[in-house]
Amino acid sequence: MIEILNDAEVARGRETGALVARILQTMKERTQVGTNLLEIDAWTEAMIREAGAESCYVDYAPSFGRGPFGHYICTSVDDAVLHGLPHDYALRDGDLLSLDLAVSLGGVVADSAISFVVGGSATPQQSALIDATQRALDAGIAAAQPGGKVGDISAAIGAVLRGAGFPVNLQFGGHGVGSTMHQDPHVSNDGRPGRGYTLRPGLLLALEPWVMADTADLVTDADGWTLRSRTGCLTAHSEHTVAITADGPEILTLPR
Ligand code: MG
Ligand code: MG
């Protein structure tokens, strides 16, 4: 299903996006060496409740995960890249942490992810991974123009990721958002320009480049949710929710 939102719904999406951005920034600021992933989950739950928003994750039970997710945020460390299930783990200096959060407020969903290094400074490889996903996200957003095609976005993202020397996995990518979290169109992290669905004002897309340092293959953790690089290499993930407007793309999940 593809939803085209009216102006009032896009305005609500702006509020949802601001909340998601504020929570992610707060989690980044609070996270220190020794912070437990379950603390991040609890802090996120508290902020979602205080805002009167709804988690998109707690009861989420798609075909690619084991039963309801049961937590409020995805916490993916080092070789974990997507759908990281919060568990009893105290973060260590130098861990590469990706946080992914989707909530619904006023009936409209926003979805965003950030990656950063806990504690001390990032290694060159950590910086390269994070930088590639951020630059790919910027390129994808720039390509999200009314009248353009989904393939324009995919091609822009893929060119940056491949140009940075990273393999690209096409199993999981961006997606439409609206009244629910995962909608059509799927936005692959590589593709050909000029192909696919035509971008129209009122369409909300979550764009989410992610990379693994030396493989395109994923393995599922024993927890039934967390996706890791097959080789154990480091990974990174960046995501924003973008509204297609008549004037071009508008990022809804930027911190205000
Ligand atoms: Mg997400
Ligand atoms: Mg997403």
The alpha carbon of 101 and the centre of ligand 2 are apart by a number of angstroms equal to: 8
The alpha carbon of 101 and the centre of ligand 1 are apart by a number of angstroms equal to: 5
Instruction: Name the token pair of 7.
Output: 């102006």
Consecutive H or E run containing 112: strand 108-117
Residue 120 has pLDDT above 80, yes or no: no
Share of the chain above pLDDT 90, in %: 96
The alpha carbon of 181 and the centre of ligand 1 are apart by a number of angstroms equal to: 9
Mean pLDDT of the chain: 97
The alpha carbon of 120 and the centre of ligand 1 are apart by a number of angstroms equal to: 26
Say what the pTM is: 0.98
Domain ranges of the chain: 7-251
DSSP notation for 53-76: -EESSTT---TTSSS---SSSEEE
The alpha carbon of 6 and the centre of ligand 1 are apart by a number of angstroms equal to: 23
Instruction: Name the token pair of 101.
Output: 């959060």
Residue 256 has pLDDT above 90, yes or no: no
Amino acid letter at 250? E
Residue 133 has pLDDT above 90, yes or no: yes
CB 170 within 8 A of CB 212: no
Q: Which of 189, 199, 124 minimizes the C-alpha distance to 160?
A: 189
Find the ligand nearest to 102 CA. 1
Reported confidence tier of residue 78, pLDDT bands at 50, 70, 90: very high
The alpha carbon of 239 and the centre of ligand 2 are apart by a number of angstroms equal to: 7
pLDDT tens track for 200-243: 999 999 999 999 999 999 999 999 999 999 999 999 999 999 99
Token pair 């996120």 in the structure block, residue? 44
pLDDT for res 67: 87
Using CA atoms, how far apart are residues 217 and 229, in angstroms rounded to an integer?
6
- What's the mean pLDDT in 92-103? 98
Token pair 């937590």 in the structure block, residue? 71
The alpha carbon of 66 and the centre of ligand 1 are apart by a number of angstroms equal to: 18
pLDDT for res 1: 84
CATH of domain 7-251: 3.90.230.10
Residue 169 has pLDDT above 80, yes or no: yes
